[in-house]
Amino acid sequence: MRVIICNGLGGPENLKLANRPEAENPGTNEVLVQQRAWGVNFVDTLMCRGGYQLKPEPPFIPGLEAAGEIVATGKNVERWKIGDRVISSHRPGGFQEMHILGGDELWPVPSSMDFEQGAVFRSAAMTAYHSLVDRGSLASGETVLIHGATGGVGLAAVQLAKALGAHVIASGGNMEKLATVKEAGADHVISSAPGFRDEVKKLTGNFGVNLVYDPVGGDVFDESVRCLAWEGRIIVVGFVSGRAALAKTNHLLIKGASVIGIRAGEGARKNPSRGALAKEKLLALAETGQITPHISHRFRFEDVAQAFRAIEARKIIGKAVLSAAL
């Protein structure tokens, strides 16, 4: 089978296609999955550059998510059968054509999705849910400001927030890309350029927002604190701006505000019951079409370096995927 190897920390030039022996028969409680599509994430590029909190030593197989078809099952597996379409999560190790996986590690591909959509659904949706629901406690009728809304998690957060009954202001750095976010259900789309606070104040009648979803950090975080309503919350998801912000505690004190850090994967591992509930809720929303991944770029498996370059050049709207069908 073919696999993608990250041979050294750095850019996409370190990604190499290699051949490995095919996976053997699954164990008693395992299944063998023939992967059909693989999600490609900004985190994958960070990990290969050594810039993520999880730092595997090269050489390693990157990739955090995939979707495929079960081709063999262990004798004690009852939940799954041959031919079932499934989603798998990896830490990393996803970029290979076949996997032996524990049956309890898998999600079904929602009936509304193809393999490509299934491959990019789980991680974005789980991050959005953990951010807005588990940690942000977003309630129906509240107003949320979602930064980085043209990304995969940002778009999932917009759709989830609308499903929860929230009023959504979505921001990004490219107004053409934000047209897709508007189509996904955002009530308003605004530029994240400096000065967005004035637009937020105008859209909220000078009230401010109850919750901010912030994967950007830096100056965007600083200005977002000033967009908060009384007892507002700001969710710290990441720092794609390259600078971790330093919260001004006087601003937080005056607004009675909270800053909340999130790690979706770690949150589910430390609280499995909460992760199981998130899975149940997200699959239900997917089945009704309330969360549907948007894929702007599709690549062949062997063209993974091109996918990484497109992500780093910020060309992607929503998600990028590697597809065995291409």
State yes or no: pLDDT of 145 exceeds 90: yes
Residues 6 and 115 in one domain: yes
**Could you tell me if 320 and 294 are in contact, meaning their C-beta atoms sit under 8 angstroms apart?**
no
* Mean pLDDT estimate for the chain: 95
**CB of 240 closer than 8 Å to CB of 148:** yes
- Within a domain: 271: no
Q: Which of 29-43, 151-165, 233-247, 249-263 has the lowest mean pLDDT?
A: 233-247
Is 90 exceeded by the pLDDT of residue 65? yes
* Domain co-membership, 91 together with 214: no
What are the φ/ψ torsions at residue 183 (nearest 5 degrees)?
Answer: -65, -30
Identify whether 285 is part of a domain: no
pLDDT digits (tens, 9 = 90+) for 13-44: 999 999 999 878 899 999 999 999 999 999 99
What's the domain range around 73? 2-121+293-323
Query: Is residue 242 predicted with pLDDT exceeding 90?
Result: no
* Measured distance between the N- and C-terminal CA atoms of the chain, rounded to whole angstroms: 17
The encoded tokens of residue 92 equal 């990393």
Higher-pLDDT residue of 48 and 52 is: 48
Residue 7 lies in a domain: yes
Q: Has residue 135 been placed in a domain?
A: yes
Residue 152 and residue 67 share a domain = no
The answer to whether residues 217 and 187 belong to one domain is yes
Are 211 and 254 in the same domain? Answer: yes
Q: Quote the distance between the C-alpha of residue 146 and its chain's center.
A: 14
Residues 236 and 249 reside in one and the same domain? yes
Name which of 112-121, 159-168, 213-222, 244-253 the model is least confident about: 244-253
Q: How are beta strands 85-89 and 143-146 bridged, if at all?
A: unpaired
Q: Is the pLDDT of residue 292 over 90?
A: yes
Q: Is the pLDDT of residue 269 over 90?
A: no
The confidence band for 53, taking pLDDT boundaries of 50, 70 and 90, is: confident
Same-domain status, 112 and 225: no
Sequence-separated (6 or more) residues with CB below 8 Å from residue 223: 194, 196, 197
Residue 273 lies in a domain: no
Per-residue pLDDT for 240 more than 90? no
Question: Would 281 be classed as within a structural domain?
Answer: no
What does the DSSP 8-state code read for residue 252?
A: H
pLDDT, position 24: 80
User: Mapping DSSP to helix (H, G, I), strand (E, B) and coil, where does residue 50 land?
Assistant: coil
Tally of structural domains, the chain: 2
Considering the domain architecture, whether residues 260 and 311 belong to the same structural domain is answered as no
- pLDDT over 90 (residue 239): no
* Residue 314 falls inside a structural domain: yes
CATH number, domain containing residue 233: 3.90.180.10
Is there a domain that residue 279 lies in?
no
Q: What is the pLDDT of residues 164-175, one digit of tens each?
A: 999 999 999 999
**pLDDT, tens digit, 9 for 90 and up, residues 81-139:** 999 999 999 999 999 999 999 998 899 999 999 999 999 999 999 999 999 999 999 99
Three-class DSSP category at 247 = coil
Which of 249, 265, 281 finishes a domain?
A: 265
pLDDT over 90 at 224, yes or no: yes
Same-domain pairing of 73 and 175: no
42 plus 111 within the same structural domain: yes
pLDDT at 247: 87
Q: Are 146 and 171 in contact (CB under 8 A)?
A: yes
Residues 128 and 252 in one domain: yes
Summarised one tens digit per residue, pLDDT across range 172-204 is 999 999 999 999 999 999 999 999 999 999 999
State the pLDDT at residue 231: 97
Does 211 score more than 90 pLDDT?
A: yes
Total-model pTM:
0.94
Q: Are residues 158 and 86 in the same domain?
A: no
**pLDDT for the residue numbered 9:** 96
